[in-house]
Structures are given as C-alpha cells and as structure tokens.
Structure 1
C-alpha cells in the first residue's frame, strides 16, 4: 500500500469514527419495472385558499430517531473469514494458512482451520473437526420465520442429502422422504417449507413440506425455466428468475406465474418478506449492473440504489432495515466499495474505504455489526468488522 492510499484510507476511517458519512442517491435510467408506483409528489393541493396564512412551528420534545449509518469502531481479524455468527459478539471463523509454498512447477497448498472467536475478549478456541463417518458431511439449517422449526439438510455427497424438519423446542425430528440435488428452498410460512429439489435430467419437482414431514407437489406452469437457482419464498408466495432473466412469482394454488420485472440477474428477499433487492443487467454500449428495491407485488421503490460494472453480495440485515452490497466499477469515478442502503432514510451510505470483498458480507444477529472479508498479500485474508452507532 503506497503512502497516498494509506493517508486516504486513514482520513476515511477518521471520518467514519465521527459518523461523517454522505448519502448518494443514484439517478435511475433506462430501467422500467413491469408495474411501478405512480408518482404523486408533483400534484398540487386544493386545500390552500387565498388570504392570510400563519405558520406555526411545533418543537418535538423528543430527539428525532437516527436515520442513516455511522461507524463507531472497526475490528480486524487477520487470516480469516466469517463462517457464521454465533451471537452478537461471537462467531465461527475459518483461518487460512499456507501449508506448502508454491514452486516453479506446483501451486501453493493451503489449510483451513475452524475456530470459535469472541470479538469482545479476543479469545480464540479451536473447533474439533469431524472425523470418521461424519467427516465431509455438510449440514444446512434454516429456521422458520417464528423460530419454532428448522429445515435441516445433511449432505452426504454432492448429490445426496438427508432432509429433516426439527421442532426447536422439543428436539423432535421428522424425516422428509425426498431426493434432492440442489440446496434451494425457503420457508413459505411458519408451517411449511418449499424445496426446489432439482434433478440431473430436468427442472425437478417443487415440494411443499409441512412441519410434520408430509409432502405435496407444487405445480409450476412455465416453459421458460429449466432450473431454479434464484429462488425465494415468504408470506405464501414463491419468487424465482426464469431463463429469460425475468422475475416472477406464484403460489401453491396458482401454477401460472405473475411477471414482476425484467432484465433481472439476482433476487434477495428481505427477512421480513416485505422487499426484494433486485440486481439488473443491461447493455448500453457496455454491460452494467443496477440494484433496485421492489415490493413483493413488483412495484419499484424509489430510484436505483447501486450502479456499477459488477454488483455482488447484497445482504439484508436481520431486521430488514438495511441492505449491504458491494460495487466494482471500472471507471474509478463511479461507485466502488461496500455500501449500505438504509430503508429509514431511503439513502445509500458508503463505508469509506474501497473494500473489495471476496466472501459474502455478514451481519451479526442484531444488525449492529457487519463483517467484510478482503484479500491481503501478506495475511491471505483480512476480515474487517464494522460496529455501527445505535
């Protein structure tokens, strides 16, 4: 890192520590949603007549709620990425080390070691790695919206998983007798999980799985989708992107989908199931990406919140109040680094330094901290954890 970049980064961190952040509202161009919210801000009101008018200023006894984002502190964890948060200050990290240096004929060899790390105390505890028959198993667990149940997938190999529904209060488990080839699914509501099982031959079946383990097929009449990779569900609706980059929705009782938006690359449904972050791509001289927020009926909410050559890792905070995302733009005058869209203020806030994350962005359970992992020439990886002012 040269001296100029170091000084610029130091100034940025100093500004962040004082909460001096600037919102950036990008202008939306060329993107037309299928259905958009009518704009009534320019309409005049008939309530104002002629004659003398008085303006009364009323002082609020309470200070206004904080709107926006301000960073209070930045932690640094060398040589590691965040696997998952265990609490607001504890996390499971994976430390990467060089086991064998590269030679003229062979690439370097790396080791990956799991630890439990406490951000408050700095304590790092080794996690015992699985051995024997359990070694290599990958377990994925997704809690229901009310937290009463969990859908658990234990992957034995690339194409075979054991699926179960677990009652989190009693520990009771129900086996789900279905073969699946994809880790694609979401909770439709508190009582049922939707699994897009996939197949090595075709699109595969879509299953509605009740909390007692019973199964029912969900029909989807759409010839324009061959695989369901961009997929989400919530509040009784299922969302996906078809082969022609169109965002659609349907329900278990409505097999014909509804078109919501076009030119869509990715979708991210908020945890409260109220908003969809949509990444769009279009070619106008050169291909660019834009990030928009839609409601679940396909109405765009305000202007685009991000624009660049590449948009990656859009990640909602657990309370759905903020969306973190990364932008890379070849033109350095454009957006570069990690940004946060704040739903309260409706603004986009840059996080100062030009982070280029190589792992998904990671919120702690309360949404007060954000983990950003970047490459580093000496340490291989560095994870910065940003504490936000409350």
Structure 2
C-alpha cells in the first residue's frame, strides 16, 4: 500500500516519456546521486536465511517516470498526463488529467490501463497476481465526483465499485487475488470479488469515511479519521469493535495476515512506525522514529517491510530502508530523497522507488528499479 501523496504528485505529472540508466552496484556506493547504498551491519556469515540481509545488486534510474506499483516483473503501473483528454479543474487552474498507464521495462512501451475519460486516476491498488487494479476516478484534481473502479488488466474491461463516494482516496488491501477489502466512501467497508458478488462487511453512518481497511480471518482492521484517526479491529463473528490505537495515519496488513504495520503520530513533528501481531496488537516492535514517513510496503512473502523516511536531524534515519519482520533488523538500501512510493515486485527480487521534487519550479519525477540480492 502506498501513501496518500498521490493526488499532490499527480498535479506535477506532465511527462511524455522517460530515459533510463542502469548501474551494477554489488552493494557498494553508486555513481548516480542522490543514491548511496549502505550495508553497515552485514554479518560475514549469516546464521540462517532469516538473518540474511537484503542488499542492492543493480540500480536502474528511469528519469521522467512516476511509477505507482508493479503489475509483474517486467511491467510497472505509472501515472502520466493524458495528452488526448480535456482539461479539468485543479488548484492551479485547468489541467489535463494524470491517468494510469502500463510501462514495459524491456520494450519501454506505454499503453493506457483503461480507455480514457476526462478524469484523474488516483490511489491504485494492484491485486497480488497483477490481473486487477482498483483505483479512484475523479472529475477534478480536488477529488470531486469520485468513484471507485475495478479494471481487468488483460482486457481493459472495468466496472464501477463505488459511485459518487465522498472520500476519493480510500485505501484497501487484497486478501488474495480474488477479494479486495476497501471502504466505499459512504460509511461501509466492502469485500469486492473479482468472480464472486461484492459483500458489505461493515456498515456505519453514511458520513463515516474509512481511510484504510484490511481483513485477516474474521478480523477487520480500519482507520477512521474522525475524530482521532482511530485504528480499530472489528470481529466479524462477534460484531465486537476494539480500539487498537489513535493518531494513526496509516496501517498495512502483511500479505500472510499475521502482522500489522502502523504509522502513528507521536509528537507535533514526529512519526513512529510500529510492527504488531495482528492477533495480539499489544505486542509491538518500534521500527523507526522520524520526522516524516513517506511510504512503506510489505514484501510478497511478508518477511520484510520496506519504508521511506525523512528526518530533519542530519544523523537521523533518511532514505529507504528494509526491516526484517521477524528479527526487527533494519538495512538501509539508499539515501533516496523526496520519495513518493516504494513497492516490491511480485517475486520480491525487485524494489521500485519513485521520487517527486521541484527543480527551478518545474516538476522532476524519477523512478528507481532496485534489483536485490
């Protein structure tokens, strides 16, 4: 799952293509700023596979590309301006909408995910098998007229899941390749089926918006932003709701459903990332304390959590890190700056890092493909 910076970044997406640079790294420092690979605590002889550190073997830089997720090992889901669409409203005046496209890393070819309408595409959630993408379509960059859409990638066919929802960027998670858990922007959490019927798992007041939702077994986790960004656990059998914590800005369930990553506000300018057991949320491990947490994502096998952080303290944590979910050990992959998204490839052998910044008042978008070992 990726952080809610998508809408902001898409305002800066105005690109037509990209160029790439590939470097062999072998775990040392790169020659391509701003990336520096660090492997400070690498053991000479790992005792077991669990203790084996993750390092970067190869780096490819894709200039002008803003990637959002992987579809498979060779294709990225990217956002770019649709030159054929009509202009729609934004805070900066009418602009052509940014939409989702499929980028092939080998051929460098780009194709639209869905036949164009004059809407901006935001917050994509890709199924584990890469066959489906759920995202929000909005009639303006201010998230007006939103609706949730599910697209079948091979055919491009789609159906509307939620229409005229008020949230515009509800994040959910796939429990498997056939079922997506997501809020509908109208006070309910849905289980969306790719082959089965959609089901309402939880229904509250229509004014309630769930920022994040995920399910493991009979437990439904969700974040309600009002009034206290409350993370709750709801037992679907007993209908009992338990408050896990408050001031939670993001949560993400591991693919195997056993662990929960939680980003919590612990001060005016402090964010803390925790790992916890999904069956007993009182058992927690503090992974990082930082000024800002930009993005995090679970590896497909649930063994690692990749995250991007910024700390105003020069000696603090800055860049992209990978945490071992079993040992809590953390390795830095690079001091990437202005990170918008991190995402594992389906095999867990690649990591995508996309960055967004402004240089001379112009947007500069770059995606890095990290080959891991």
The reply to whether residue 365 of structure 1 matches residue 326 of structure 2 is no
Distance 1:218 1:372 in 2: 34
Shift of 1:261: 3.1
Q: Is the 8 A contact 1:80 1:96 kept in 2?
A: no
The alignment's C-alpha RMSD in Å is: 4.7
Q: Is the 8 A contact 2:72 2:130 kept in 1?
A: no
For structure 2, list consecutive stretches of 5 or more residues without a partner in the other structure.
1-26, 83-91
| Cα separation, partners in 2 of 1:159 and 1:254, compared to 1, 3 Å | farther
Report the secondary structure of 1:198's partner residue.
coil
Q: Is the 8 A contact 1:79 1:95 kept in 2?
A: no
**Partner residue of 1:282 out of 266, 272, 277:** 266
Question: What's the TM-score once normalised by structure 2's chain length?
Answer: 0.67
Report the secondary structure of 2:29's partner residue.
helix
Shift of 1:320: 1.6
Distance 1:219 1:116 in 2: 35
After superposition, the C-alpha distances for 1:23-51 in whole angstroms (9 at most, x for unaligned) are 59xxxxxxxxxxxxxxxxxxxxxxxxxxx
Distance 1:253 1:240 in 2: 16
**Partner residue of 2:183 out of 196, 200, 203:** 196
Report the secondary structure of 1:299's partner residue.
coil
Distance 1:264 1:163 in 2: 26
Q: What does residue 387 of structure 1 align with?
A: 371
| Cα separation, partners in 2 of 1:253 and 1:70, compared to 1, 3 Å | same
The reply to whether residue 232 of structure 1 matches residue 214 of structure 2 is yes
Report the secondary structure of 2:239's partner residue.
strand
Q: Is the 8 A contact 2:30 2:37 kept in 1?
A: no
| Cα separation, partners in 2 of 1:234 and 1:336, compared to 1, 3 Å | same
Shift of 1:373: 2.3
**Partner residue of 1:218 out of 173, 185, 202:** 202
Shift of 1:319: 1.9
Distance 2:41 2:262 in 1: 20
Instruction: Judging by fraction of residues, say which structure has more strand.
Output: 2
Mapping of 1:77-92 within 5 angstroms? 77-92=62-77
| Cα separation, partners in 2 of 1:388 and 1:331, compared to 1, 3 Å | same
Tell which structure's C-alpha radius of gyration is larger: 1
Report the secondary structure of 1:277's partner residue.
strand
Mapping of 1:93-242 within 5 angstroms? 93-94=78-79, 117-119=103-105, 121=106, 123-127=107-111, 134-136=117-119, 138=121, 143=127, 155=137, 157=139, 158-159=144-145, 161=147, 180-182=165-167, 183-187=170-174, 193-199=180-186, 204-208=187-191, 211-213=195-197, 215-216=199-200, 218-219=202-203, 226-242=208-224
Shift of 1:306: 0.9
Distance 2:270 2:109 in 1: 44
Q: Is the 8 A contact 1:338 1:351 kept in 2?
A: yes
Distance 1:381 1:162 in 2: 26
For structure 1, list consecutive stretches of 5 or more residues without a partner in the other structure.
1-9, 25-61, 98-105
Q: Is the 8 A contact 1:194 1:208 kept in 2?
A: yes
| Cα separation, partners in 2 of 1:357 and 1:316, compared to 1, 3 Å | farther
Q: What does residue 273 of structure 2 align with?
A: 291
